[in-house]
């Protein structure tokens, strides 16, 4: 069952308390952490409710589902345009569709994907924000760049220089914490991500805008905020449990 608007309002209030407390502990401002509402497996009505509660940024795992809910531009309560973040792995043949629907793709993990995105964005034309996903938890089921190869990968982008990717903005790094049920277990990978992001931001050039860290979900957002997250991706705490037996993009 989907949450009612009132249920969502109280879940949002509880989440905001968690976020504010974590910001206080970390000595950070609430404004330094963007809340991305992960609406995957929830219907368009849930997105409407979220917008009426002030949501500006949504995360979707699958391109087709993102298109269903976010192809039509809409306006947030604050007057800004609602933004769609693609946060799941994107197959090569779906990169163009992803580039069209997304304001930001968090899950780029190969040079082939970077090159193809530059091409499709040049043709659209569009300038797209991208983040590189790092498999910092080093779990085999998770996608993303291997931690041992991430630095060499980023270094290879420095070598090419900014003129190689005029339609892409490299905005930062994304990771999924360890899936142990213990938030503290993810601290080390979040800290690893922050160190890598800071190192490349300092290089400037193609990494001049590399100021984002997408990390933290329902179970580990406090630790992520303490370790410097600028974008938390939260689904369950806002929308409730997902019903995986009912994909939103199935024809009805
Ligand atoms: C589903 C998903 C989330 C949201 O997870 P919750 O635990 O429901 O908050 C965040 N990030 C990614 C990449 C996801 O796939």
**Four-way CATH pick for 5-239: 3.30.930.10, 3.40.50.11540, 3.20.20.10, 3.40.50.300:** 3.20.20.10
Which residues have a Cβ under 8 Å from the Cβ of 238 and sit 6 or more positions away? 8, 11, 12, 15, 37, 38, 50
User: Mean pLDDT score of the chain, rounded to an integer?
Assistant: 95
Ligand 1 proximity of 218 Cβ (cutoff 6 Å): yes
Mean pLDDT of 215-224: 98
Ligand 1 centroid–CA 36 distance in Å is 10
Residue to mutate (ligand 1; options 14, 41, 59; most atoms within 8 A of CB): 59
236 CA closest ligand 1 atom index: 8
Distance of CA 217 from the midpoint of ligand 1 (Å): 6
Q: What percent of the chain has pLDDT over 70?
A: 97
pLDDT given at position 123: 98
pTM: 0.96
The closest of 91, 136, 90, 132 to 108, measured between CA atoms, is 132
Task: Give which of 249, 160, 162, 145 is closest to 205, Cα–Cα.
Answer: 162
Query: Does residue 40 line the site of ligand 1, with CB under 6 A?
Result: yes
Ligand 1, closest atom to CA 87?
A: 13
179 lines ligand 1 (CB under 6 A): no
Nearest partner of 218 among 11, 47, 79, judged by Cα = 11
Cβ atoms within 10 Å of 46's Cβ, excluding its own: 21
* Predicted local confidence at residue 252, as pLDDT: 39
Give, as one character, the DSSP assignment of residue 247: -
Q: 39: CA distance to ligand 1 center in Å?
A: 9
- Which DSSP letter does residue 235 get? S
Q: Which residue has the higher pLDDT, 139 or 33?
A: 33
Instruction: Report the pLDDT value the prediction gives residue 142, as an integer from 0 to 100.
Output: 72
Distance between Cα 233 and ligand 1 center (Å):
6
Task: State if residue 87 touches ligand 1 by the CB under 6 angstroms criterion.
Answer: yes
User: 174, 215 in Cβ contact below 8 A?
Assistant: yes
Nearest alpha carbon, ligand 1 atom 11:
233
Cβ atoms within 10 Å of 180's Cβ, excluding its own: 13
Is the confidence at residue 250, as pLDDT, over 60? no
Helix (H) or strand (E) holding 116: helix 111-123
The bridge status of strand 145-146 relative to strand 212-214 is unpaired
Band the pLDDT of 163: cuts 50, 70, 90. confident
Per-residue pLDDT at 19 exceeds 90: yes
State the sign of the Cα–Cα–Cα–Cα dihedral 52, 53, 59, 61. Answer: negative
Instruction: Give the CA angle between residues 28, 241, 176 to the nearest 5°.
Output: 45
pLDDT given for residue 251 in this prediction: 43
The DSSP-derived string for 127-173 is -EEEEEEEETT--TTS-SEEHHHHHHHHHHHHHH-GGG-TTEEEEEE
- Decide if 88 contacts 113 (C-beta within 8 A): no
Mean pLDDT confidence for 238-249: 86
Question: pLDDT for 47-95, tens place per residue?
Answer: 999 999 999 999 999 999 999 999 999 999 999 999 999 999 999 999 9
Domain ranges in the chain are 5-239
Q: Is the CB of 233 under 6 A from ligand 1?
A: yes
């Amino acid at each position: 069952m989907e949450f009612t608007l009132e249920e969502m309002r109280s879940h949002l209030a509880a989440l905001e308390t968690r976020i504010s407390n974590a910001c206080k502990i970390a000595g950070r401002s609430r404004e330094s952490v963007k809340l991305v509402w992960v609406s995957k497996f929830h219907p368009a009505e849930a997105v409407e409710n979220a917008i009426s509660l002030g949501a500006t940024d949504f995360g979707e795992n699958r391109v087709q589902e993102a298109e269903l809910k976010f192809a039509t531009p809409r306006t947030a309560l604050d007057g800004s345009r609602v933004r769609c973040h693609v946060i799941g792995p994107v197959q090569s043949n779906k990169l163009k569709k992803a580039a069209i629907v997304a304001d930001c793709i968090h899950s780029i993990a190969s040079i082939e994907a970077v090159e193809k995105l530059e091409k499709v964005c040049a043709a659209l034309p569009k300038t797209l924000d991208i983040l590189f996903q790092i498999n910092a938890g080093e779990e085999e089921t998770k996608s993303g760049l291997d931690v041992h190869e991430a630095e060499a990968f980023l270094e290879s982008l420095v070598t090419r220089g900014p003129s190689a990717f005029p339609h892409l903005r490299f905005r930062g790094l994304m990771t999924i914490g360890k899936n142990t049920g213990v938030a503290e277990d993810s601290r080390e990978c979040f800290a690893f991500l922050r160190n890598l992001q800071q190192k490349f931001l300092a290089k400037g050039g193609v990494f001049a805008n590399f100021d984002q860290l997408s990390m933290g979900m329902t179970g580990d957002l406090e630790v992520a905020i303490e370790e410097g997250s600028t974008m938390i991706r939260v689904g369950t705490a806002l929308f409730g449990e997902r019903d995986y037996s009912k994909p939103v993009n199935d024809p009805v």
